[in-house]
Chain A
Amino acid sequence: GAVVSQHPSWVICKSGTSVKIECRSLDFQATTMFWYRQFPKQSLMLMATSNEGSKATYEQGVEKDKFLINHASLTLSTLTVTSAHPEDSSFYICSASEGGEGNEQFFGPGTRLTVL
């Protein structure tokens, strides 16, 4: 089955630093990847949609200069949280899809970010 990995699985950083999270599709080519944020006891909220080789499309209210997304290859997308602050602490989850009608989005295991 299709597998999506994320690295790191958890990270703790100091306020003001930048953190990069990787999302990889291990056994398929992902034309589209999505980044979600999930606060404790809440649902997944879409942050941005990323197509390989194109600029990401951000949801309303998500700062594109703060959450940098790069989808440089068909198997890798990265999310960089720049100048992280405690309110950015959350569970970040990516999903990946081969694209096209009927194709499923496969979710990664998530990355727990804690900003001190």
Chain B
Amino acid sequence: GQQLNQSPQSMFIQEGEDVSMNCTSSSIFNTWLWYKQDPGEGPVLLIALYKAGELTSNGRLTAQFGITRKDSFLNISASIPSDVGIYFCAGQYGSQGGSEKLVFGKGTKLTVNP
């Protein structure tokens, strides 16, 4: 199945540092989403982006929908130990919201050292 190109694959940072990860695609998406998955759990939605160029924040998280609609990035500022987990980007081709299937990135594993 199709996957998005997500980088970096893993990150090891110190508590308090900022983090940035991104996703790219050869196809245009109408919606970009960012999820966090803890071990043995399902993904939890962090931020949803619906318009090209859109910049959205959720607490210490900021994400942007690329102008070309083929990329997105997620920034985490002032990281804390509970930010540890795997972050996935996901895209949707259409505008049908929840009825539309998701294409996931390969994930970025984040480790935060206290």
Contacts and interface: CB of A to CB of B under 8 A. Distances in A.
A31 B1 CA distance: 24
Contact of A104 (B40, B48, B101, B104): B48
B102 A46 contact: yes
B97 A101 contact: yes
Majority DSSP secondary structure for residues of B touching A = loop
Contact of A112 (B1, B40, B88, B103): B40
A34 B3 CA distance: 17
A108 B42 contact: yes
A95 B95 CA distance: 18
A59 B3 CA distance: 13
A110 B1 contact: no
Interface in A73-115: 91, 93, 95, 97-105, 107-110, 112
Interface of B: 1, 3, 35, 40-45, 48, 50, 88, 95-99, 101-107
Interface of A: 4, 6, 31-32, 34, 42-46, 49, 59-61, 91, 93, 95, 97-105, 107-110, 112
